[in-house]
Amino acid sequence: MKKTKLIIISLVLIVIAVIATLLILSFNGVIGAGTFSEKTYACHIAKIENINIDVRDRKIKILSSSDDQIHINYFESEKEKIDISISNKRLNVQFVDEKSWIDRIGVKADSEYREIIIEIPNNLLTNLTVSTTNENIELTEISIKNNLALESNGGDIQLNSVQADSTIDLKTKNGSIVGTIVGDIGDYSIDCTIKKGNSNLPAEKLDGTKHLIADCNNGDINISFI
């Protein structure tokens, strides 16, 4: 019995030592997300018709640009990178994860490093698609010529004076959809799906020249038209 207790105590001490070592390595940047540096990117809107943003664990803030340029401000490390490319007039922003399994034991990067700010000229972009996880998507005073599609798994979608001439497609899981859309509710046909939450939108509305889709699982929907 005494030998068994000694073995258990030894195993517990080993586990504590391993955890303490990993925490020390994490806080000293040896493991984890790495060391972050600020990056900027800009290109003229004439080169771009569509933007596709597909990232993980990043808050996305999209604002109106003060010129004819698309501006992107972000942080990346040697282990978590943001790949930006242009193909067939589509600007692609993608998350590249180069962490090893041991890096995932470390603490998450500070929130200031997990934010991407994008400025786009209004009324010039044809389509905008944004997808992220565990963070919010925020749009302020953005106008899209055709389709706007936003999806967050683990965060909110927040709209402030947003409009699209064809379709607005909003999807969240474990997050809410809130804010304001420019126009009248009569302008939109509506498909609304809500699970484990409340919604101020009708489940279905057939008339309207534009289309609003809202799908929310475990969150609320509160959209106003202005």
Q: Are residues 103 and 201 in the same domain?
A: yes
pLDDT for the residue numbered 109: 75
3-state secondary structure 43-76: EEHHHCCEEEEECCCCEEEEEECCCCEEEEEEEE
Q: Are 72 and 147 in contact (CB under 8 A)?
A: no
**How far apart (Å, rounded) are the C-alpha atoms in residues 156 and 162?**
15
Q: Are residues 59 and 170 in the same domain?
A: yes
Average pLDDT for 183-206:
94
**How far apart (Å, rounded) are the C-alpha atoms in residues 198 and 62?**
26
Q: Are residues 25 and 137 in the same domain?
A: no
Residue 123 has a CB neighbour count (10 Å cut-off) of 11
Q: Are residues 23 and 40 in the same domain?
A: no
Q: Are 190 and 205 in contact (CB under 8 A)?
A: yes
Q: Are residues 15 and 94 in the same domain?
A: no
Q: Are residues 11 and 49 in the same domain?
A: no
φ and ψ at residue 100, rounded to 5 degrees: -85, 175
Instruction: State the pLDDT confidence band at 78, using cuts at 50, 70 and 90.
Output: confident
pLDDT for the residue numbered 15: 54
Q: Are residues 211 and 103 in the same domain?
A: yes
pLDDT for the residue numbered 183: 94
pLDDT for the residue numbered 92: 98
CB crowding 145-155: b at 16 or more within 10 Å, else e: bebbbbbbbbb
Amino acid at 175: G
**How far apart (Å, rounded) are the C-alpha atoms in residues 97 and 37?**
16
Greater confidence (101 vs 28) lies with: 101
Q: Are residues 63 and 86 in the same domain?
A: yes
**How far apart (Å, rounded) are the C-alpha atoms in residues 179 and 159?**
4
Q: Are residues 80 and 17 in the same domain?
A: no
Q: Are residues 19 and 52 in the same domain?
A: no
**Mean pLDDT for the chain overall:** 88
Instruction: Count up the domains in the chain and report the number.
Output: 2
pLDDT digits (tens, 9 = 90+) for 104-163: 665 677 888 999 999 999 889 999 999 999 999 999 999 999 999 999 999 999 999 999
pLDDT digits (tens, 9 = 90+) for 10-47: 666 565 655 555 454 445 555 456 789 999 999 999 99
Average pLDDT for 49-72:
96
Q: Are residues 22 and 100 in the same domain?
A: no
Question: What is the residue range of 165's domain?
Answer: 36-225
Residue 7 has pLDDT above 90, yes or no: no
Q: CB within 8 A of 202, min separation 6: which ones?
A: 190, 192
Q: Are residues 93 and 7 in the same domain?
A: no
pLDDT for the residue numbered 27: 52
